[in-house]
Amino acid sequence: MSQIQLLEVTKYYGGKKDKRRTAGVREINLTIEQGEFVFLTGSSGAGMTTLLRLICGDLIPTYGAVYLNNLNVSRAARWHRQRLRRYFGYVPQISGLARKKTIGESLVDIAIPRLTGPPVIERVQNTLKLVGLSGAETMYPVQLSHADCRWAELACALINNPPVLVIDELTENLDGDTIWDMVHLLDEINRMGTTVIMATHAKRFVNILRKRVITMVDGRIWGDVPQGRFGDI
């Protein structure tokens, strides 16, 4: 079972000699077990995006370390980003879909070749079907609605069937029905053993699912409640 550990993790923005450098997160100690579903909540600027990027290796901490079992994610992020794709599927807050590539091409770029299992093109089709975008592999992002682009982002995170999904504000600016469909799918994926770590402001849906809720304030963990509600500390 894969376990995520953050040990005394601090991330500063700005150089070491810059007196005006700011802390994205400070002195974070956190353990997330494989198979957990964790909602990350807090106000804008609380450090949620920084924390998620540190967990999946998209950022390197200034101090401390992030581990996935015995893998030092902080070190792997410097030299083995391709390796991290096997373990983490990441949906950024701001869309990362390439405008000049079709959805299928974007998925192929992310997909890691396997010695066993379906070939890449079949995996692309199956993943798009899973998120309700069958046939979208030939379309460009500009041809899709905002909601469908977010579904495509989720497909990019799922293409390698990673044990950990790290999701940053996937539901922002979406209608209630779409949010529920996304959260329901993530809950089903979680039930099959995938760890889900999701930053969101969708209070209603956090309260319905009653998963582990971590609340951040000013770069620190202020509350960590199992089966919690939005804002529980």
pLDDT, tens digit, 9 for 90 and up, residues 188-205: 999 999 999 999 999 999
* pLDDT tops 70 at residue 16: no
Evaluate if pTM is beyond 0.85: yes
Least confident of 30-39, 93-102, 134-143, 149-158: 93-102
The pLDDT value recorded for residue 17 is 64
The pLDDT value recorded for residue 125 is 96
* pLDDT tops 90 at residue 142: yes
Mean pLDDT of 27-52: 95
Reported as a single tens digit per residue, the pLDDT across 80-127 is 777 788 899 999 998 889 999 999 999 999 998 876 778 999 999 999
* pLDDT tops 90 at residue 77: no
The pLDDT value recorded for residue 115 is 65
Least confident of 77-81, 143-147, 178-182: 77-81
The pLDDT value recorded for residue 99 is 92
Mean pLDDT of 66-91: 86
Q: Considering the chain, what percentage of its residues have pLDDT values greater than 70?
A: 97
Confidence of residue 152 (pLDDT cuts 50, 70, 90): very high
The pLDDT value recorded for residue 15 is 65
Could you tell me the fold of the domain covering 3-87+162-225? Answer: Rossmann fold (3.40.50)
Mean pLDDT of 22-46: 95
Least confident of 11-25, 66-80, 99-113: 11-25
Of residues 94 and 212, more confidence is placed in 212
Average pLDDT value over all residues in the chain: 92
Which backbone phi and psi does 115 adopt, to 5 degrees?
-80, -25
The pLDDT value recorded for residue 19 is 66
